[in-house]
Amino acid sequence: MESNIEPTILSEFVDLRAKSILSILAAKEDGRKVVGMYCLYSPTEIVMAAGAIPIPLCGTKQDPIAVAEKVLPRNLCPLIKSSYGFAASGTCPFFNFTDLLIAETTCDGKKKMYELLSELKPLHLLQLPQTQDDQEALQYWYGEVVKMKERLEVQFSVTITDQDLNEAIQRMNEERRSLKDLQDIAKLKPSPISGIDLLMALYNRGFSIDKKEVVRMVDRLTIELKELHRQGVTPFTTKTSRILLTGVPVGIGSHKVVQIIEESGGNVVCFESCGGYKAVYDQVDEEKEPLLAIAEKYLRTPCSCMSPNVGRFELVERLAREFNVDGIVDLTWQGCHTYNIESFSLKKYLQTKKSIPFLQIETDYSESDVEQLKVRIEAFLEMIS
């Protein structure tokens, strides 16, 4: 991949994470509360309606894993170890800012880790059902969403009105709309943005506390990219292999597979995973009772902790078509049993539709297997090009 003219606004995204540390400090001095969130199942709207600042805390870096392994088993998934390690080592400024953590019972590893985390900070646990297409599951989840609202009201001594919720829903729908528009840019062939830049923008914008400003920045990036495409400026060619990445969450720090794909001549055009399309393809219904509408949208999230999880299969298949991809890479973190097992079924499902080349990669956050991964990924790209 050659270096190329970049959208000018991209550099603003690079600084966003560092800059937001200062704005959170200032907001805290004004009495604002900060809520740390780990997962896509946690409704951001309710935190915003409580007047608090939502901050993503999912660990994406190798650094704190050694600290985490003093307590957690070594063969646990790196995402869980990294998340806990950041908290336990005190090395994450965002964790240190939080007044409350919102956690959720997704996988076994996470829910048991949260028990340990709750010794470090006040933590509200959402009891997530394990199935989606079921009225009773929805009713149960709706009850959990109501309890979360009540917890925030008590914790921060505020009252959350329907109007607060509706405003938060509109703002989040607007944010999701802008993030979806940005990601849809990579449907252009060749894409005007690399997967690694797209991931950086998606990841870093999460740390900004000014949602309106984020939407403006994301929309500007989208417009600039459209313009670059019009001028024919792109790091890629029409022959570049287009890859959809699915599976476990990926962020900056845990991006090695994205990097290897692009250094080997491919282009990740779509992130189906948590930080990418999965978070934005679906909106909260603005016509319905707000907490019910929130409950419905969040429960639909197609994660492998659900059984069955047909939503993910359908989404991957649809996105593979819409983004015109040449291959699918299914990323599994070591120790993530749900995504690991589901990979087999996903591959089978995709073969019954249209046979799309499929590669599962199982790895962790460390650099120890980079050479082995290169063989697999380069061979995959040779196979599909």
Binding site for other proteins (CB under 8 A): 344, 347, 357-358, 362-363, 368-369, 371-372, 375-376, 378-379, 382-383
Q: Quick check: bond before 129 cis, omega within 30?
A: no
Q: How far is the CB of 176 from other proteins (least distance, A)?
A: 36
* β-pair partners for 360: 330
CA atoms within 13 A on the CB side of 33: 18
Closest residue by Cα to residue 189 from 151, 237, 233, 146: 237
Alpha helices in 118-239 (DSSP H): 135-156, 162-184, 195-205, 211-230
Closest residue by Cα to residue 206 from 40, 3, 385, 33: 40
Measured in whole angstroms, the distance separating CA 352 from the mean position of its chain's CA atoms is 28
Q: How far is the CB of 76 from other proteins (least distance, A)?
A: 17
Q: How far is the CB of 378 from other proteins (least distance, A)?
A: 5
By beta-carbon proximity to other proteins, the closer residue of 25 and 383 is 383
Q: How far is the CB of 265 from other proteins (least distance, A)?
A: 12
Q: Please answer whether residues 332 and 247 qualify as being in contact, where contact means their C-beta atoms are separated by less than 8 angstroms.
A: yes
Q: Please answer whether residues 249 and 39 qualify as being in contact, where contact means their C-beta atoms are separated by less than 8 angstroms.
A: no
By beta-carbon proximity to other proteins, the closer residue of 182 and 243 is 243
Q: How far is the CB of 40 from other proteins (least distance, A)?
A: 28
By beta-carbon proximity to other proteins, the closer residue of 231 and 372 is 372
Which residue type is seen at 135?
A: Q
By beta-carbon proximity to other proteins, the closer residue of 118 and 264 is 264
By beta-carbon proximity to other proteins, the closer residue of 132 and 363 is 363
Closest residue by Cα to residue 291 from 142, 139, 71: 142
By beta-carbon proximity to other proteins, the closer residue of 288 and 376 is 376
Tokens encoding 379: 């061979």
Tokens encoding 373: 């991964």
Q: How far is the CB of 381 from other proteins (least distance, A)?
A: 9
